[in-house]
Amino acid sequence: MSSNSIANRSLPLLVVINGFLVVALGAFGAHGLKSLIAPEAMQFWHTGVRYQMFHVVGLLVCAFFASGCEDRPHAVRWAVGAACLFILGMVFFSGSLYLLALTQQSWLGMCVPIGGVFFLLGWISLAVCHFRRRT
């Protein structure tokens, strides 16, 4: 399967799934968890939701960039790579914050910076994609 078909099929689906998840997780935190966990744990939850939402927008940009450059496979590969890095960032950054809020296991805090690095690498990859689209 080529990068173009992966991008055209998978990236919009990733945007939709993660957009749904972030709204559901935000609502669950605001309505279901508020009375069950400590206020400082709620801060972890809210930070995870906020960063996941930012990176849903990043996934949307990946899908947009990839769809506009079918004739530039290198650019598409960078967009798909950026999307993969954003997903890894969501799992490590937001996912570990969700688990930290629910379990209070402090070792989960070590996963947050790993997710942050994935997010940063994803934005760099998206910048490379942008420049590859233009050349």
C-alpha dihedral (129, 57, 43, 45), degrees to nearest 10:
-100
Average pLDDT, rounded, for the chain: 91
* pTM exceeds 0.85: yes
Please report the pLDDT score of residue 67 as a whole number. 86
Place of tokens 């099929």: 9
Q: Taking residues 73-89, what's their average pLDDT?
A: 93
C-alpha torsion sign, points 55, 99, 118, 13: negative
**Quick one: tokens of 96?**
């570990």
Please report the pLDDT score of residue 4 as a whole number. 62
Contact 81, 125 (CB under 8 A): yes
Better-predicted residue by pLDDT, 89 or 66: 89
Q: Taking residues 105-120, what's their average pLDDT?
A: 96
